């Protein structure tokens, strides 16, 4: 889902990042950051004024609504970060010091969470290259300017001293004792604030964050507390793996109705965020388009006589020649159908409200996805033999035929997505051009790569024996490792399980994800994901030592 709260500013940011020269983007970055520090959250701003402040261009005619100050402040921060990310600014080239979020936290003796709240209040932050890595940083002048404009906010933040792990543990234990006596969060926060000499809000945030992070062991169990985004995502993924709603209800300490609502919300959010590209056509919007386009397909006719596959092909490739080719009329029908189904999906996507998704629209969208996949697979299967025939013509010494076929299949899949049926051309012509164009690039590149590593002693390598472990032995070790780790993960909380599963590809055999990808999935920053990962790995090591778990191969 979009980070921006104003679609017009999101469009403006995308245009500048994609098309504006570096020098122009740098000037816009300075103007946007200066503007951000001046925004009054209580006012509204005409879009034309905003556009002029950032780009120097004032649109003469615009129907864009005025932008509330709070939305403008948020979106200007996003725009500054997006522009700076596209420029790859080296922090050492700046004429003033650049502070990371951690450095701001240490200098002012505040938590990193407080720094993030300041960013939401208008503290400009940019992406810089620091020690070869992309890090979020704040310029010294921007920090000083923000502190001058928000003296009360800064003073309030500096009044909170950071809690040590020992302090936090004592507070949680005392809170659990008081909660057992029937006291609510507000009363407990006041009592503990006096006892520990802390601000009431510090205690409140500590207890609330603990309950959000460890719902199964929460201090204040209440059905009124909303589920966090990461817990909703985790519940949905578990449901996809076959975990029943009653089990999810017990695991998260929620009623079945709350779990069902969370599952419906995540389901709708994922459908809403799905990118669906299609070849548009005016006929999709005409009257009775559905009845005309989704008619019975032309009959798949088997070609006259059996088609004999080329000699030397393995059985699974020879099977391709049993799939009948499509006629021009059949191709037209299926490409029109596929793109119309995609068009309908996008139209439903616009009307879908993740907060109130209902059941009818998501079910219809999922049905469309299945129908799209069926048509797409039919078009791909009907043209796979085309890849084989072109690959045979590009065979050269040292080129692996099966790698050529695999590479050509990827070109075929892309061609199915990009083919414009309305031009009346035969798909095989377009696909052949796309596959041969790809081979023209990939085959010489592969030969160049092989030449760099050619030794003249290839026969020795072919005849030599490999005394290392077999693939079966490696697989047994991998399975044993996975089983041991999954067993220990039962002692982790929901967020920790999610981070480890996504980062190391333990979630249903999926590929490992980057810190940024996991952050998007959980709705947190990638730095927060890194912190959770480090803490959880240390926790797993302690669990392994305590349980004396033997992890093979480690």
Q: For residue 424, give the DSSP letter.
A: -
What are the phi and psi torsion angles at 443 (to 5°)? -65, -50
Inter-residue long-range contacts of 508-515, CB under 8 Å, 24+ positions, other chains counted: 508/241
Distance from first CA to last CA of the chain, Å, rounded?
A: 40
Whether the full predicted model's pTM is greater than 0.75, yes or no, is no
CB 413 within 8 A of CB 444: no
Beta strands 126-130; 89-90: pairing state = parallel
Reading the chain (554 residues) residue by residue, the pLDDT tens digits are 347 888 888 888 888 888 788 888 899 999 999 999 898 888 999 988 999 999 888 877 667 888 998 889 889 988 998 999 888 899 888 888 999 888 888 888 777 778 888 887 888 999 999 888 888 899 999 999 988 888 877 776 665 556 677 888 888 889 888 887 878 788 888 889 888 877 777 788 788 778 777 776 788 765 456 778 888 888 888 888 888 888 887 777 777 888 888 899 999 999 988 888 899 999 998 888 888 888 887 775 554 455 677 676 666 667 777 777 888 888 889 999 999 999 999 999 998 888 788 888 999 999 999 999 999 988 988 888 888 888 888 777 666 777 788 888 888 888 999 999 888 888 888 888 888 888 777 666 555 555 555 555 545 444 444 444 444 455 555 666 666 777 777 778 778 888 888 887 776 556 778 888 888 777 778 788 888 888 888 888 777 777 666 554 44
Q: Which two tokens stand for residue 159?
A: 């009044």
Q: Which two tokens stand for residue 134?
A: 């992309």
Q: For residue 523, give the DSSP letter.
A: T
CB 349 within 8 A of CB 271: yes
- d(CA 261, CA 150) in angstroms, rounded, equals 40
In the numeric block, the tokens 């034309």 are attached to: 48
Q: Is 57 exposed, middle or buried (0-12, 13-18, 19+ CB in 10 A)?
A: exposed
CB 162 within 8 A of CB 198: no
């Amino acid at each position: 889902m979009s980070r921006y709260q104003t679609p017009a500013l999101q469009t403006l940011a995308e245009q500048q990042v994609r098309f504006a020269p570096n020098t122009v983007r740098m000037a816009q970055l300075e103007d946007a950051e200066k503007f951000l520090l001046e925004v009054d959250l209580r006012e509204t701003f005409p879009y034309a004024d905003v556009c002029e402040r950032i780009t120097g261009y004032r649109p003469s005619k615009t129907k864009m609504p005025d932008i509330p100050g709070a939305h403008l402040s948020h979106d200007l921060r996003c725009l500054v970060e997006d522009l700076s990310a596209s420029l790859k600014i080296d922090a050492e080239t700046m004429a003033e010091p650049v502070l990371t979020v951690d450095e701001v936290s240490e200098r002012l003796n505040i938590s990193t969470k407080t720094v993030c709240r300041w960013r939401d209040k208008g503290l400009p932050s940019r992406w810089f290259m620091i020690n070869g890595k992309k890090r979020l940083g704040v310029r010294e002048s921007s920090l000083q300017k923000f502190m001058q404009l928000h003296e009360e906010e800064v003073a309030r933040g500096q009044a909170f001293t950071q809690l040590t792990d020992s302090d936090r543990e004592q507070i949680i234990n005392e809170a659990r004792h008081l909660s057992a006596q029937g006291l609510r969060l507000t009363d407990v926060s006041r009592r503990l604030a006096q006892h520990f000499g802390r601000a009431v809000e510090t205690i409140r945030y500590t207890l609330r964050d603990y309950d959000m992070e460890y719902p199964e062991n929460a201090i204040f169990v209440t059905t009124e507390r909303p589920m966090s985004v990461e817990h909703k995502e985790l519940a949905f993924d578990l449901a996809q793996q076959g975990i029943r709603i009653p089990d999810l209800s017990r695991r998260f300490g929620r009623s079945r109705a709350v779990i069902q609502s969370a599952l419906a919300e995540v389901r709708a959010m994922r459908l809403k965020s799905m990118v669906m590209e299609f070849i548009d056509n005016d006929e999709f919007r005409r009257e009775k388009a559905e009845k005309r386009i989704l008619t019975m397909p032309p009959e798949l006719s088997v070609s006259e006589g059996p088609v004999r596959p080329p000699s030397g092909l393995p059985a699974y490739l020879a099977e391709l020649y049993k799939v009948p080719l499509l006629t021009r009329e059949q191709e037209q029908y299926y490409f029109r159908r596929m793109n119309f189904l995609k068009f309908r999906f996008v139209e439903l996507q616009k009307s879908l409200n993740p907060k109130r998704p209902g059941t009818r629209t998501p079910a219809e969208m999922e049905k469309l996805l299945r129908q799209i996949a069926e048509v797409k697979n039919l078009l791909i299967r009907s043209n796979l033999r085309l890849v084989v025939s072109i690959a045979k013509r590009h065979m050269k010494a040292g080129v692996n035929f099966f790698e050529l076929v695999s590479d050509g299949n990827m070109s075929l899949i892309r061609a199915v997505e990009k083919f414009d049926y309305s031009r009346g051309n035969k798909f095989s012509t377009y696909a052949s051009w796309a596959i041969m164009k790809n081979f023209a690039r990939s085959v010489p590149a592969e030969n160049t790569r092989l030449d760099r590593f050619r030794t003249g002693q290839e026969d020795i390598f072919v005849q030599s024996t490999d005394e290392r472990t077999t693939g079966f032995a490696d697989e047994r070790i991998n399975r044993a490792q996975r089983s041991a780790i999954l067993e220990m993960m039962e002692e982790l909380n929901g967020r920790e399980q999610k981070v480890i599963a996504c980062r190391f590809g333990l979630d249903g055999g999926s590929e490992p994800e980057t810190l940024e990808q996991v952050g998007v999935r959980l709705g947190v920053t990638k730095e927060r994901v890194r912190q959770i990962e480090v803490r959880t790995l240390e926790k797993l090591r302690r669990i392994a030592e305590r349980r004396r778990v033997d992890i093979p191969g480690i």
